[in-house]
């Protein structure tokens, strides 16, 4: 795996949306939040565009991705937000162009579709991080989240380090043991949506990270079951579970008619016998850590330690 050159102050960021349309009132604050890091910003057309729920047509979003990776003056590419739509453009992307120009690529949620494709088809590390118009501009964006983001994209180019939660948020162990492998994954919904496509996630010998938001417990059960039936969970070396924000019973007034996430994990994941660390502060939450997807990691579930290898 190629590790893109770390960013430094004075570098230029290409800001795009491969997914949902950006609310106009959030664009300038998002740009300002990046400039505060000492980075310059080139705003893609998709940040101004709307095609229903999408940030412009598929052709426009493809053109923005190609422009930012193909322009030698652009040092990194940030997705301004998630939403929906990244999967729709995969078949039109020029992966030869992208792989020939590996750059820091950051985002999460719907951006998971691009992380999987860039990791597997282009062979470079990408970064699961908060995004400018959804987290950067929120007043509660905390020091832990900022430091995790900055250290990852501007300092930890190839260095070894540990993924650590905030001190007041301990991780937990679902299954003991240790494992090592390439860190992959992201949003459960997008990981599951990759199945049966040319961009299907390859979990063989990997450390799989999963998180999600606004899915009922039954839907989480369905998606994990689909991954299991597809053999994707049997193939992993280990599993990391992040935040499950607003993933609650479909009918909160009848909790007995649902299964808790803990029960779902116990019934689907724990029998796999693979090391599992849960409660990572990562996903649709604050504080949240940033992850280097594609880097090799070693996990020690007994002691809740996750080491990113040099």
The phi, psi pair for 107, rounded to 5°, reads 160, 180
CA distance from start to end of the chain: 12
Please tell me the CATH superfamily of domain 12-154, with its number. Murein tetrapeptidase LD-carboxypeptidase, N-terminal domain (3.40.50.10740)
Tell me the pLDDT band of 63, cut-offs 50, 70 and 90.
very high
Q: CB of 176 within 8 A of CB of 274?
A: no
What are the residue numbers of the active site? Answer: 109, 211, 284
Report pLDDT digits (tens) over 259-303.
999 999 999 999 999 999 999 999 999 999 999 999 999 999 999
Q: List the Cα angle 190/196/200 in 5-degree steps.
A: 55
In whole angstroms, give the CA distance from residue 155 to residue 123: 21
User: Structure pTM?
Assistant: 0.96
In whole angstroms, give the CA distance from residue 152 to residue 127: 8
> Of 235, 230, 244, whose CA–CA distance to 279 is shortest?
244
Report pLDDT digits (tens) over 166-181.
999 999 999 999 999 9
Three-state DSSP class for residue 16:
strand
The tokens for 185 are 């994954």
Pick among 2.40.30.10, 3.40.640.10, 1.10.3720.10, 3.50.30.60: CATH of 161-308:
3.50.30.60
Residue 157: pLDDT above 90?
no
Q: CB of 74 within 8 A of CB of 103?
A: yes
* Domain limits, the chain: 12-154, 161-308
């Amino acid at each position: 795996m190629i590790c893109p050159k770390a960013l430094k102050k004075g570098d230029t960021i290409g800001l795009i949306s491969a997914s949902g349309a950006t609310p106009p009132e959030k664009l300038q604050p998002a740009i300002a939040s990046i400039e505060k890091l000492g980075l310059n910003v080139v705003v893609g057309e998709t940040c101004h565009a709307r095609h229903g729920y999408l940030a412009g047509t598929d052709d426009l979003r493809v053109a923005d991705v190609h422009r930012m990776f193909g322009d030698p003056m652009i040092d990194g590419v940030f997705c301004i937000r998630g939403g929906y739509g990244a999967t729709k453009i995969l078949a039109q992307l020029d992966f030869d162009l992208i792989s020939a120009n590996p750059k820091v690529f950051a985002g999460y949620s719907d951006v998971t579709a691009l992380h999987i494709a860039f990791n597997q088809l282009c062979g470079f590390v990408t970064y699961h991080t908060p995004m400018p118009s959804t987290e950067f501009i929120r007043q509660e964006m905390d020091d832990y989240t900022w430091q995790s983001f900055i250290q990852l994209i501007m300092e930890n180019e190839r260095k070894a380090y540990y993924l650590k939660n905030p001190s007041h948020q301990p991780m937990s162990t679902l299954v003991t043991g240790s494992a090592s492998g390439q860190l992959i994954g992201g949003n459960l919904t997008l990981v599951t949506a990759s199945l049966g496509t040319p961009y299907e996630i390859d979990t063989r010998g990997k450390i799989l990270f999963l998180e999600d938001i606004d899915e009922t417990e039954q839907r989480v059960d369905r998606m994990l079951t689909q991954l299991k039936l597809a053999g994707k969970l049997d193939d992993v070396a280990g599993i990391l579970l992040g935040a499950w924000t607003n993933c609650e019973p479909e009918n909160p007034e009848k909790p007995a008619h649902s299964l808790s996430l803990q029960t779902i994990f116990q019934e689907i994941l724990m029998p796999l016998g693979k090391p599992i660390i849960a409660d990572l502060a990562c996903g649709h939450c604050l504080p949240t850590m940033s992850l280097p997807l594609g880097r090799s990691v070693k996990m020690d579930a007994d002691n809740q330690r996750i080491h990113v290898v040099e």
